[in-house]
Structure 1
Amino acid sequence: MSQGSNFVDYVRICCRSGAGGAGSSHLHRDKKTAKGGPDGGDGGRGGHVIVRGNSQLWTLLHLKYRKHVIAENGEGGRAALQTGAQGNDEVLEVPLGTVVKDAETDEIIMEITQDGETKVITPGGRGGLGNWHFKSPTNQTPRFAQPGESGKEEWRVLELKLLADVGLVGFPNAGKSTLLSVVSAAKPEIADYPFTTMVPNLGVVAYRNNKSFVMADIPGIIEGAAEGRGLGLRFLRHIERNSVLLFMVPADSKDIKQEYEILLSEIRQFNPELLDKPRVLAITKSDMLDDELIAEMKKELPKGIPAQFISSVAQKGITELKDLLWKAINE
């Protein structure tokens, strides 16, 4: 199964929480008591709709076909001050890095970043109070109780931003998928034409002494992506979380420095804060270059960014690149 079919990073769901149960307006009666006081219990609260972080999940696929999530209503209160049962909550398990938004306003309501973290997205209605709450010196036997609060119905959008340590930034065909397939067990679709990668691919990269880090191949940024051209925006969103950006420019590019600047300006337009992240530059497809040419090209590279000439196919410079990335992640 290709990753394309099971990577879902956006779902829209209608969440309906349960209504609270009504309070009881019972008056106490038994063999000895013909006219007892009020003893109606409170209604139970309606079920919440809750999201819970789960580190074993990578996508929102399991929610893709759940258009409606409906929590149970609370039960009514009963005699002898018995509170009604609470309605069952509906819990949606989500991958870490999931953002919950209001579907109408697009406002971010919450973000789930930890395993087991639970947050209520649509609260259930409160149960009504039983009649014993309303007893007073002037009204010893109130014959009324509160109805339960109704539940809410709200549309929510769940969006996943990838949590990766390294995000690959480069034009289509810069060799990102090839690098990912060489350094990790990820098997992205690879071909010699632009836009092969239509979904982000995640790979775990093994490093020295059993350490590892996560690399995400974010589909190619094209000029104009920040204005939403192509698939740009959806994918630029994924870079927001990565702690290091690995810029990749092929060695046969007309002007490496210029291509790097274009990529940089795309990211600047999308979200200037991304420029605060550490950057590393990889010159890909450099198995054709001899040492003399590499020395010449080094003089032309952009200043102030650690760079490495690599060839994924010939496995050249890969270990040095991992060292640079590890250093950048852990600074």
Structure 2
Amino acid sequence: MFYDQAKIYVKGGDGGAGAVAFRREKYVPEGGPSGGDGGRGGNVVFMGDEGLRTLVDFRYKRHYKGDRGEHGQSKNMSGRGGADIVLRIPVGTVVFDDGTGETIADITEHGQRVVVAAGGRGGRGNARFMSNTNKAPTIAENGEPGVERWLRLELKLLADVGLVGFPNVGKSTIISKVSAAKPKIADYHFTTLVPNLGVVDIEDGESFVMADIPGLIEGAHTGAGLGHEFLRHTERTRLILHVLDISGSEERDPLEDLRIIQDELSLYSPALAERPVIIVANKIDIPGAEEHLQRLKNEVGDRHEIFAVSAATGEGLETLIYHIAQVLPDIPAPKIVSLPAEHRVTKAETGKRFEIRKEEGLFIIEGAEIEKHVKMTFFDQEDSIYRFQNILKVMGVDDALREEGIKEGDQVEIAGVRFDWV
């Protein structure tokens, strides 16, 4: 089964905790702090693989986590970093943050690597906190939590040529005749429910990839039928073959079919309206096809080239294929809209650093920055608690709580941890 959408959960590995230790050596009194830093957590990495054609693997396993970094040790020994987890995904996959809708990555090349969930940095050991005023600190940090998010994956086929048209006009038969693809073919509507890819080999070692895009219907650009499921696969094709049943055997007017499909493509994406188009008048071997073909030529004029073929008998297919091979080198690949990772713009956050809400004597403080400090603090060490309190003061949490009317004995909750207000 071809799967072109998936939703998965990824989480970078947490950083290892820093160590609290002191140098213990004979004849070296007051050796000083020697706690090492924790190791960095492992990243979750996507890597493009041109050998994959489906997202089916992500239908059976949806949760992926990087390894945790090792904890720091005495003698200033840092913990080992966690191993990255590398997930291979098909070339042509677009990765979205499911919560925000932001485009995170667009995998367009074999071997392209993108970090989708960074591991957390390791916590600092007490050797890092030594100062002129504190020669023997007992402060260390827990590791930073890794980035976690739900991702939505969408596979857009990377094909040179896309066959579009109404159901049952012969697209599957054409691709089966000109390539090694063997799609399921039968005489009923919507035989093709998933895209089929075929490599068309020409003499002298030349070849191109052809995609049979499943049948479209009127209203597809609004999502009617499986409109959006199918239309997005046309976005990456360099050349569109518009296949028509020129015989009218389905009691449809080929000219009306041409207008409807062209409108659906342009309404879904204006860029598709500018894509080069070749019209393939299929089923020319059926009586009455010549009359419709002449009407089509009169209607289209010089706007598009028209090739009359019979997928059933093979008539005209060789001429069509050699023409495609001739014009493809002059057609540029569609531009990728999303920015590559190295040019992605990062905006500074100007909103509130935290928010406070009240629930019957309980003050709940929320915010990514303050929650991270809670998770990285060792609350069983007195020096670490003092440091955490100073962080809250600097962030303005104390003043904000007083403005909210907090009283002695009220409780404060941050990231699931509760404190008594004193």
User: Do they superpose with TM above 0.5?
Assistant: yes
Quote the Cα distance in structure 1 between the aligned partners of 2:153 and 2:140: 39
Quote the Cα distance in structure 1 between the aligned partners of 2:7 and 2:308: 43
Counterpart of 1:98 in structure 2 is 93
Superposed CA deviations along residues 260-280 of structure 1, whole A, max 9, x for unmatched, are: 111100111111111121111
AA matched with 2:179: S
Counterpart of 2:257 in structure 1 is 259
* Inter-CA distance 12–292: structure 2 relative to 1 (3 Å threshold): closer
* Inter-CA distance 295–58: structure 2 relative to 1 (3 Å threshold): closer
Quote the Cα distance in structure 2 between the aligned partners of 1:209 and 1:298: 35
**Secondary structure of 1:236 counterpart:** helix
* Inter-CA distance 327–64: structure 2 relative to 1 (3 Å threshold): same
Report the alpha carbon displacement of residue 294 of structure 1 after superposing the two structures with TM.
8.3
Quote the Cα distance in structure 1 between the aligned partners of 2:186 and 2:84: 46
* Inter-CA distance 256–58: structure 2 relative to 1 (3 Å threshold): same
Map of 1:217-232 to 2, 5 A cutoff? 217-232=212-227
AA matched with 1:125: G
1:321 aligns with 2:320: yes
CA contact (8 A) 2:284 2:290 kept: no
* Inter-CA distance 141–157: structure 2 relative to 1 (3 Å threshold): same
Counterpart of 2:192 in structure 1 is 197
Quote the Cα distance in structure 2 between the aligned partners of 1:224 and 1:85: 56
Report the alpha carbon displacement of residue 77 of structure 1 after superposing the two structures with TM.
0.8
Map of 1:9-88 to 2, 5 A cutoff? 9-88=4-83
Counterpart of 1:134 in structure 2 is 129
Instruction: Give the unaligned 5+ runs of structure 1.
Output: none
Superposed CA deviations along residues 118-161 of structure 1, whole A, max 9, x for unmatched, are: 11111111101122222222222222122211123311111111
CA contact (8 A) 1:257 1:302 kept: no
Report the alpha carbon displacement of residue 101 of structure 1 after superposing the two structures with TM.
0.7
Q: TM-score, normalised by structure 1?
A: 0.93
Map of 1:241-252 to 2, 5 A cutoff? 241-252=236-247
Superposed CA deviations along residues 170-189 of structure 1, whole A, max 9, x for unmatched, are: 00011000001000111111
Quote the Cα distance in structure 1 between the aligned partners of 2:242 and 2:293: 20
CA contact (8 A) 1:244 1:328 kept: no
Q: Comparing both chains, which one has the higher relative contact order based on Cα–Cα distances under 8 Å and sequence gaps of 6 or more?
A: 1
**Secondary structure of 1:234 counterpart:** helix
Instruction: Give the unaligned 5+ runs of structure 2.
Output: 331-422
What do you get for the CA RMSD once the two structures are aligned? 1.8
Counterpart of 1:302 in structure 2 is 300
* Inter-CA distance 70–36: structure 2 relative to 1 (3 Å threshold): same
Counterpart of 1:177 in structure 2 is 172
* Inter-CA distance 187–295: structure 2 relative to 1 (3 Å threshold): closer
Q: TM-score, normalised by structure 2?
A: 0.74
CA contact (8 A) 2:283 2:289 kept: no
1:270 aligns with 2:268: yes
CA contact (8 A) 1:257 1:300 kept: no
**Secondary structure of 2:166 counterpart:** coil
AA matched with 1:314: T
